[in-house]
Homo-oligomer: A and B are copies of this chain.
């Protein structure tokens, strides 16, 4: 029953990626994880299937080692990136991978997105990080798993909290975002695209890349997150 509901949630998250235009063609995928109970299960979109024809039963169920537990179709080719992130970030419950226009442009330019305004500060604590490129050895050894590995390496080297920084750019590739649920992951992917768009326009207008003062970004981040949050109806 729980799995059935997660399958539907992951289906909706994938449909939402398409509806918001975050991944033309079959670029992009979303997954969710069921962590409580005796078994940890990941639900992910099948590989290369048109968003328009996806149904809940098409979703593929795997364990944290990417071994298929249930499903008639092959899982997304990005599965091993998802499972590695779930293993390393126990706080997260959903992941969205997109090739959205502006986030991908920053990723292709191998540049982190500086925090240039409060729209960014409300969702991301500090710049949106970008990974290093994979080495030839990493590609040969396991391209997809090592895509996850370079993300983890960036978060460790900068001591980043995946809840405070709910997304990343993979150099020369595109974006991954996550959240407490698959739906929140897609929302963060959508916000990331808007932040990337605003920053692109601002850089064209010669905005300073040093960004807004830390005392402003801290204020905004804490306004929406943490024990003293004043935003919304909580």
Contact = CB atoms under 8 A, between A and B. Distances in A.
Interface of A: 24-27, 46-49, 73-74, 77, 99, 101-102, 104-111, 116-119, 122, 133-134, 136, 139-140, 143, 172-174, 187, 190-191, 194, 197-208, 211-213, 215-216, 219, 223, 230-233
A82 to B, nearest CB: 16
A202 to B, nearest CB: 4
B202 A108 contact: yes
A215 B116 contact: no
- Stoichiometry, copies per complex: 4
Contact of A231 (B77, B101, B174, B212): B77
A117 B205 CA distance: 18
A108 B104 contact: no
A51 B40 CA distance: 36
Contacts of A215: 136, 139-140
A139 B216 CA distance: 7
Nearest to A204: B204
Contacts of A136: 213, 215
Nearest to A104: B198
Contact of A233 (B25, B47, B117, B231): B47
Contacts of A104: 117, 119, 198, 201
Contact of A108 (B109, B116, B190): B116
A191 B201 CA distance: 18
Contact of A101 (B201, B216, B230): B201
Nearest to A47: B232
